[in-house]
Amino acid sequence: MILVTGGAGYIGSHTVKALKKAGFQPLIFDNFSTGHRAFIKGTPAFEGDICNSDDLARAFAEYPIDGVLHFAGRALVGESIEKPELYYETNLHGGLSLLNAMKTCGVKFLIFSSSCATYGTPQQVPISEDHAQNPINPYGDSKLAFERAMRWFHEAHGLRYLSLRYFNAAGADAEGEFGEDHDPETHLIPLVLKAAAGRHPEVKILGTDYPTPDGTCVRDYIHVTDLASAHVMGLEALMGGRVESQAINLGTGSGCSVREVIEAARRITGKDFFARETARRPGDPPALIAAVDRAKKVLGWTAVESGLDNIIRSAWNWASKTNQAW
């Protein structure tokens, strides 16, 4: 079985579905602090916390775990600046508890949800995996700290790992089973769609004076379904001994500005809404775009679902279908 920490969360739930399609048997491990019980959908699930080693020990004792996909963690940049202790506790200490549980039980294979936030403000884009890592917030730093721990567990204990550095995860399951539902929501695409749905009076454009073509931030939006397939391909390659332990960027290799996202949302939803130009949000780099050659070379993976239109259409379909909290 494959233990999926955070398997009831946004990216975890999509990946559990992809694992099942590929013939794996996932076991969701989640404390449901931000994960959704409605996302379990019949998959075996264990309620537990990665920060509690007894919970981890029980899960490893009760189920025959062959490998782990580790999604559980905190992921709000702003919150991480105000409460760094939460980020080192969950993302680093919780991660270490997981590594220790794996070591005790002889489980060797691990795929970790890392982030482009580990690079900080890039010196050049596209950003390759060898780019310097200088995170500018505790969220990115806690992810980097865990990456480093994995490398040393690899050296000392033979851990086999992939650290998948996501760029901007977005979109929803094509069949409308899962989607993005954070509380509070801080991400651009769900906020734009809330404005399109009339649930929010406006969307804010956070900064219009960036050194980018239209003055707004550029991001590499990657469809969550593409992220899910990268995990499955990574797991197969890792367990099949076809790939070395390493970090791999997951993105598309091209970026969209905030204004482009807003325009696409207006076109696809057919709804007009107000976009207010405001000041920059502290800590936002002007442009984050992935160099994607390694993912292609090492995993044979490229993004196929990730056009902006497809991302927004799928997110809109899911939101309309579930009428989730909007």
Q: Would you tell me which residues interact with ligand UFG (CB under 6 A)?
A: 75-77, 115-117, 168, 186-188, 191, 203-206, 217, 219, 258, 281, 284, 288
- Minimum distance of ligand UFG from residue 34's CB (angstroms): 12
Tokens 């994995």 found at: 150
Nearer to ligand UFG, 208 or 320 (CB): 208
Nearer to ligand UFG, 58 or 204 (CB): 204
Nearer to ligand UFG, 43 or 118 (CB): 118
Nearer to ligand UFG, 68 or 250 (CB): 250
User: What burial class does residue 124 get, using C-beta atoms within 10 Å of its C-beta: 0-12 exposed, 13-18 middle, 19+ buried?
Assistant: exposed
- Minimum distance of ligand UFG from residue 116's CB (angstroms): 4
| 13 vs 17: CA distance, rounded Å | 6
- Say whether 87 is catalytic: no
Active-site option among 119, 139, 210, 221: 139
- Minimum distance of ligand UFG from residue 75's CB (angstroms): 5
Nearer to ligand UFG, 61 or 279 (CB): 279
Nearer to ligand UFG, 83 or 281 (CB): 281
314 within 8 A of 223, measured Cβ to Cβ: yes
Nearest-CB residue for ligand UFG: 217
43 within 8 A of 15, measured Cβ to Cβ: no
Catalytic residue ranges? 139
